[in-house]
Amino acid sequence: MHPLRLIESVPGKYSLLLDAGTTQVDDVIEELGHTPNGYFWEGVAQLLVSTEAPALEGRFSYDPEGGMFCAYGADRSALEELGTRMAAVAADADRMRRLVTAAEADGFEFDD
């Protein structure tokens, strides 16, 4: 799940975290006209849920900041699945390009 990490903040409550600016695809994100901050990664998470894993919809919440992506909730397995999906994108420049290009073609706006 690297570069993401899943922590248990209090018993039964989990946070999926990604420090912005630490992925292998940061340069690609910038080439595509975006800032690899927490808000951009929230958009990535939303896209992955809507296009690849709709069963995850509503099973956690988002709370990104400029320097960090955060999804949180009580459903550890849902956050683990999201983390695995996001880690795959964070390590694959071609997949990131395809994701952003398709999203923008569909009218999706990243909030970065």
Residue-wise pLDDT tens digits, 49-74: 999 999 999 999 999 999 999 999 99
5-105: in CATH 3.30.1370 = yes
- Cβ atoms of residues 89 and 99 within 8 Å: yes
Tokens of 27: 């340069």
**Residues of the chain predicted below pLDDT 50:** none
Confidence at residue 112, expressed as pLDDT on a 0 to 100 scale: 86
Each domain of the chain, given as residue ranges in start order, spans: 5-105
Would you tell me how many other CB atoms lie within 10 Å of the CB of residue 34?
A: 19
Closest of 50, 104, 72 to residue 4, by C-alpha? 72
- Indicate the pTM of the whole model: 0.95
Give strand ranges (E) for 25-67.
61-62
